[in-house]
Chain A
Amino acid sequence: MKVPFRGFSAILYKEFLVVFRDPLTLFFMFVPPLIQLVAFGYALDTDVKHIATLVFDEDRTRESRELIDQFVNTQTFRVVGEVRSIAELADAIRRGQAYVGLQIPPGFARDLQAGRTARIQVLIDGSNSSIASSSLNTALNVGFRQAMLQLAARTGGRELPVEVRPQILYNPEMRSPNFFVPGVIGLVLQIATMFAAAMSLVRERERGTLEQLMVSPLSRWGLMLGKLTPYLCISMLMAVGLIGIMQWVFNVPIAGDFSALLVATLLYVFALLSLGLLISTRAQNQIQALQMCMIFILPSVFFSGFIFPRETMPWIFYALGAVLPATYYIELQRAIVLRGASLGDFWLNIVVLAGMGLALFSLCALQFKRRIA
């Protein structure tokens, strides 16, 4: 007589009691993810605007002042001061007082009026690549636009011959939180759930209660499902809380279906909890479990497409990202939250997440040794 989930309800009864009896576990499940979400959500901002800029205007004409205004009007640059020599300019950039230096040499207005090439110099601090590339592009754009306007004026035209009118879909203001906050939710859920699941079983091993369970007729499937279910409920509550923060604190509207988001989250959390339990079948103590969890968490930050697009990664890291549940969840979540995609549009992600969850869960039940050695 084999009952596949024998002992499940007993474990479930006990786990719910233990979880709610232990305020520290609950605290560590709920509070750090909330703080992390808010902190990461505010900190991760790649909108490069208002870059500190120093001006070295040797020309001091109406034209040179107009050019400076053109730079400022792009909102990319913010003039923080003026300097009197090129050495002073270079020095200020080296000391980090500004990222960009704009030098307008004497004779700028004169050359302009005479129809000769008027030269300006832009010094850019390359030590921060995103600031540098944004400054470079904007500066080139301003110069190009000025040049075109000059040419157009000479031929009597007042308009540019070609004008690009970009339209940004789904995140029209290109707000960073819209891009990052869904990803952060994926990450903080991963950290909290994996740790909680891994610790819960390892703690029993450390305390010796696991031996007691192993001499009982409890089946390993019953044990694993009983361990997983309470954490699944808590994690879903937490996910709803995190999504609420995304919507009301970061003002990221959910374009898609909320229930689709919940289904995706449920599958994701199930996979993570199974992974946590799998770790705990191997780890002998809480320190080991912690270290094993870390092995999965760092790659999830870098290779899941959370910050950097996966398509530009070397194939090995692309492949690494493909085995992480976070990769599929973050992609799915961005699609649902920002683009209003349905689950049908991303059925492959759903299948992969569900498959990972079932495979990991089966693996941890099969892996679990009834005997200590």
Chain B
Amino acid sequence: MIECEGLTKRFGHFTAVDHVSFKVAKGSIFGFLGPNGSGKSTVIRLLCGLLEPSDGQARIAGLEVARELEQIKGLIGYMSQKFSLYDELTAHENLSFYGRLYGLRGAALKQRYDQLVALTHIEPYLERRAGLLSGGWRQRLAMACSLMHHPTVLFLDEPTAGIDPVARRELWDLLFEFSSAGMTLFVTTHYMDEAERCSHVGYIHTSKLVVCGEPDELKQLPLVNPNDSRRIDVTCDHVTVGLQALRRLPGVRAATVFGQSMHLLVDKALAEEVIRAELAKAGIPRADVRPMAASLEDVFVALTAGRNGGAK
């Protein structure tokens, strides 16, 4: 549904997007991840035709974005980062406006309007000004606005930034609903838990696409699981003390704190008893040491580190 080939955007001497290529299949939820300033929003803008690529091309539904933008406009919906509601207008008026903007009138407008109000449960807030809605409801309204014209592809630029966890989960439930109805979703985020829910993910770092694929597939990558290594989760008291101790232990390749636990990348040969013994020596007698699978975060950390290491 979405195809990029060597997509590049330069602003003066700065290359914001550097030869990015990927494909997104119809009906999938594509999670686009990367740190701030890595080029996520620029890619979305290139795909929506808001920016012209310096090199390469993007296609949506087989149409080239740079040349056939007018045909594409009816197919895509775009929910930008700081969404774009008219604060002076009520929720109802915002919806009507976006519907009219795409040429919906009369019965067709009414029908779609009712459908989206039901879907997003925004009914109680219809007469309230958009500027007075809370973050979560704003995002729902914004989403409804960007869906008025039945887009087949929806681009969402950090839709959950700055909203509370409940609203976040509900928003994702909506996304799954759209996806199961055949809509293709392209979502940028920097929440790893959101990335885990996507059917496909891409990770962009310093303007380059580092990796792209299904989450499970990425977790099996050799670079993420180097030869003769395994991942271990350690839950114990005083994790920071433990971290210092374990980092000195031969056979431990990497250690990071993760809440009340530590994630270790160790030599396959390193036994769990050795780790427990080392922690006891550091004054932590009780520790829960278990093997674990790589998370997407591990994948991205490993890949970014690999890339930075290669650059040295």
Q: Look across to chain B and name the residue whose beta carbon is closest to the beta carbon of A373.
A: B51
- For the complex, give the distance between the alpha carbons of A217 and B52 in Å: 17
Contact in complex: A208, B102 (CB < 8 Å): no
Contact in complex: B89, A371 (CB < 8 Å): no
How big is chain A's contact interface, by range?
20 to 34
Residues of A near B86 (CB, < 8 A) are 14, 18, 209
List B49-104 residues whose CB lies under 8 Å from chain A: 49-52, 69-70, 73-74, 76, 78, 80-89, 93, 96-98, 100-103
List A198-230 residues whose CB lies under 8 Å from chain B: 207-209, 211-218
Contact in complex: A14, B102 (CB < 8 Å): no
- On chain B, the number of residues with a Cβ less than 8 Å from chain A's Cβ atoms is 32
Contact in complex: B82, A208 (CB < 8 Å): yes
Contact in complex: B80, A212 (CB < 8 Å): yes
Residues of A near B78 (CB, < 8 A) are 211-212, 215
- For the complex, give the distance between the alpha carbons of A6 and B51 in Å: 22
Interface-centre pick from B81, B87, B103 (highest chain A CB count, 10 A): B103
Produce 1/0 per residue, A140-153, CB < 8 A to B.
Answer: 00000000000000
Contact in complex: B50, A371 (CB < 8 Å): yes
Residues of B near A22 (CB, < 8 A) are 88
- A372-B101 CB under 8 A given contacts A18-B89, A214-B50: no
Q: Look across to chain A and name the residue whose beta carbon is closest to the beta carbon of B88.
A: A21
Q: Is A321 interfacial (CB 8 A cutoff)? A: no
Contact in complex: B70, A211 (CB < 8 Å): no
Question: Which of B49, B80, B100 interacts with A10 by CB under 8 Å?
Answer: B100
Q: Is A13 interfacial (CB 8 A cutoff)? A: yes
Q: Is A305 interfacial (CB 8 A cutoff)? A: no
Produce 1/0 per residue, B149-184, CB < 8 A to A.
Answer: 000000000000000000000000000000000000
Contact in complex: B97, A217 (CB < 8 Å): no
Q: Is A171 interfacial (CB 8 A cutoff)? A: no
Contact in complex: B84, A218 (CB < 8 Å): no
Contact in complex: B101, A215 (CB < 8 Å): no
Residues of B near A7 (CB, < 8 A) are 100-101, 103
Contact in complex: A6, B103 (CB < 8 Å): yes
Residues of A near B69 (CB, < 8 A) are 370
- A211-B97 CB under 8 A given contacts A18-B88, A21-B89, A372-B45: no
Q: Is A35 interfacial (CB 8 A cutoff)? A: no
Q: Look across to chain A and name the residue whose beta carbon is closest to the beta carbon of B99.
A: A10
- For the complex, give the distance between the alpha carbons of A207 and B80 in Å: 11
Contact in complex: A373, B11 (CB < 8 Å): yes
Whole-angstrom distance between the Cβ of B187 and the nearest chain A Cβ: 16
Contact in complex: B97, A207 (CB < 8 Å): no
Interface-centre pick from A213, A215, A372 (highest chain B CB count, 10 A): A215
Residues of A near B146 (CB, < 8 A) are 212
A18-B88, A212-B80 known; 14 other A-B pairs, CB under 8 Å? A7-B101, A10-B101, A13-B97, A14-B86, A21-B88, A208-B80, A208-B81, A212-B78, A215-B49, A215-B73, A216-B98, A216-B102, A217-B102, A372-B51
